[in-house]
Amino acid sequence: MERFARAWGQAVHDASYVLLTRAEREAFFLDLSERLAQALTADPFDAVGGYRVGVDLANTAAIAPEGLGRTVTMLTTRLLSTLDLSGVVSRERLAALVEALTMGYTATLHDRTLDQQDSLRRADITARSEAERALRRSEERLRHAALHDALTGLPNRTQLSHWLSELRTDASAPGRFGLCLIGVDRVRAVNNSLGYAAGDRLLRAVAERLSQVPDAVACHLGGDEFALLIRGTTNAEDAAKLADRALVLLRAPFEVDGHELPVAASAGVVERAVGDGDPVDAIRAAAMALHWAKDDGRDRWRVFDDEQNARDVARYRLSAEMPGALARGEFALAYQPMVDLTTGAVVAVEGLARWAHPELGRLLPGRFIGLAEDSGFILPLGMHLLEQACRQAMQWQNVRPAAPVVSVNLAARQLCYPGLAAEVAAVLDRVGLPSHRLQLEITENDVMTAEGDAVRNLHALAGLGVRVVLDDFGTGYCGLAYLRSLPVHGIKVARPFVAGLDHHGATGRTDEAILTSLVHLGHTLDLSVTAEGIETSHQLDRLRAIGCDVGQGWLLGRPAPAGHLFTAT
Ligand code: C2E
Ligand code: CA
Ligand code: CA
């Protein structure tokens, strides 16, 4: 603390009009430092302590404006570390104290200018007005720094928020406004590959282009995020047009350090009446729309709409409810038979996830599996369902001599999870199910894009003796050579090909030809071929004729609770 106080005193010493002895100076600045330290941690917090320090600084040390600037630098760069404080709260408190100190200092100086007209008249008038001008300049600099981005010089988030809240209070403001938030892609890639200096230059160039968008004020909210504020729109189209313009401007490649950098951007747009909610909320809404634009594949803009937002919120809620639902046992599997097309025997059953939601009723996997994949919850959920399926298989094995294999769907995320094979082995062990009674279904697409861990997982699972089949086969293009290299036991031909068998004319014939070659392909590679989605007896007949091994579909049995499956036995 003493060291900090000494350094502070020294920093402003030559800007001081009054002559203090060294001991006086040290004691004075130590007192100020201690008061600031106390104010920083006081409960409740009150910035007025900072104001008083500012007053004393102006009265006692009578420092010139450059001294105030150095004081601000000292406090913002060194005080927290001197006190061993960190964290957002401390930083926010410090900022408030420094602001109050500046206000106390300038107010005192101003009062003194008025009060002490007489004594000041005796002083050198030009020096005084020079000092006042310097004070105003440094005030302006501080204000500018607080409201602008240091890198690009554009107005920052604080300034944008001020403007937005002013829209509501300013009677002369127009009735509507638009805000478009722009996310620039690949800035991080540029930082990583060409260095931060190149990234900074790129951002400055982006700022320059965005400043050219007419009728809008460009702001830089930080990092790769920019905004355009448009005052006086008439409808959402006005704002969307400007967003489009901005994206067009950014689409031309940037030239940085001799590199030509193609940059794409996405934009989220809001347009509303000034009185329609808190205008500052528009930033959040635009951020949401920006997120949608990125989700839609980037390089595009999206306009915020309440309905989509409500859907997002509902999805988010559903996602957040999953862990509780798992604990309450709301997830269960329905089982659908897979039938040998020559003998008619049920050789396997596929477990299909169902969520008995207390308010929304029974939910199909389309409503929640994707959400669980996004949140990562698919890992615990998937293992839970897998264990359920294995226990069910054990029960069937105990009552039926030729018990069916259980087939469980695996999500891409599970396939890439390094601990997958070990966890599957642990479940089999716990339940006591022989590994060949478990089959895992992985979609062809997931396998095609799989790398590293996923391929290792496939081999490890095959090593355990678990069967692996490729689901929805024929929708992606899994190279023949690649398929040969994978430890797979069968393919399940995608439903649309089976549906095509009922079409008359060329499409139907094409689908039948594709099915025929898929069956041959499967057999050549020694794989069993299953057709799913069989709904009509015509489809069933054609599949038998083609030589397909196994069939699954509503005609042969709908997904049903475990207890409904083998009612005959
Ligand atoms: P999938 O693996 O292709 O499952 C077959 C889907 O087709 C199931 O829909 C099933 O109910 C439906 N289906 C069966 N026969 C017929 C038919 O004759 N006609 C028609 N139109 N549809 C039929 P479901 O249960 O809605 O499952 C949808 C998808 O959700 C599944 O597609 C699978 O990819 C995924 N899924 C289901 N359960 C799980 C699970 O436990 N884990 C994971 N990761 N994914 C699952
Ligand atoms: Ca499946
Ligand atoms: Ca399928």
CATH of domain 316-563: 3.20.20.450
Protein residue closest via CA to atom 22 of ligand 1: 533
Q: How far is the CA of 417 from the centre of ligand 3 (A)?
A: 22
Measured between alpha carbons, how far is 381 from 358 in angstroms, rounded to an integer? Answer: 18
Answer whether 379's CB lies under 8 Å from 414's CB: yes
Q: How far is the CA of 369 from the centre of ligand 2 (A)?
A: 12
CA separation (Å) from 482 to 413, 479, 521, 564? 21, 5, 13, 40
Span 551-562, pLDDT tens digits: 999 999 999 999
Looking from the CA of residue 373, the nearest atom of ligand 1 is 44
Contacts for 13 with CB less than 8 Å, ≥ 6 apart: 25
DSSP 346: E
Answer whether 448's CB lies under 8 Å from 412's CB: no
CA atoms within 13 A on the CB side of 516: 10
Which residue of 333, 336, 349, 352 sits with most ligand 1 atoms within 8 Å of its CB, as the best mutation to test the pocket? 352
Protein residue closest via CA to atom 46 of ligand 1: 409
pLDDT score at 569: 42
CATH of 157-306, one of 1.10.3720.10, 3.30.70.270, 3.40.1160.10, 3.40.50.10490: 3.30.70.270
Determine what percent of the chain is predicted with pLDDT higher than 70.
96
Average the pLDDT over 240-246 and give the result.
95
pLDDT score at 451: 74
Answer whether 527's CB lies under 8 Å from 489's CB: yes
Helices and strands in the chain: count of H runs, count of E runs: 24, 16
Decide: helix, strand or coil at residue 228. strand
Measured between alpha carbons, how far is 425 from 412 in angstroms, rounded to an integer? Answer: 19
Residue bearing the bigger pLDDT, 210 or 134: 210
pLDDT score at 119: 59
Q: Which tokens is 167 given?
A: 């829209």
Instruction: Please give all residues whose beta carbon lies within 6 A of any atom in ligand 1, as ranges.
Output: 336, 352-353, 364-366, 369, 382, 385, 409-411, 441, 471-472, 532-535, 553-554, 559
Span 125-157, pLDDT tens digits: 677 677 778 878 877 888 888 899 999 999 999
pLDDT score at 423: 97
Topology alike, domains 157-306 and 316-563: no
Q: How far is the CA of 502 from the centre of ligand 3 (A)?
A: 19
Span 91-115, pLDDT tens digits: 888 888 888 888 888 888 777 666 6
pLDDT score at 505: 82
Which residue of 326, 371, 409, 427 sits with most ligand 1 atoms within 8 Å of its CB, as the best mutation to test the pocket? 409
Span 515-530, pLDDT tens digits: 999 899 899 999 999 9
Average the pLDDT over 165-183 and give the result.
91
Answer whether 293's CB lies under 8 Å from 277's CB: no
Which run of H or of E encompasses 148? Answer: none
| pLDDT confidence tier of residue 369, bands split at 50, 70 and 90 | very high
Return the domain boundaries, the chain. 2-147, 157-306, 316-563
Measured between alpha carbons, how far is 34 from 56 in angstroms, rounded to an integer? Answer: 14
Protein residue closest via CA to atom 37 of ligand 1: 352
Span 449-497, pLDDT tens digits: 777 788 899 999 999 999 999 999 987 766 667 778 889 999 999 999 9
pLDDT score at 157: 93
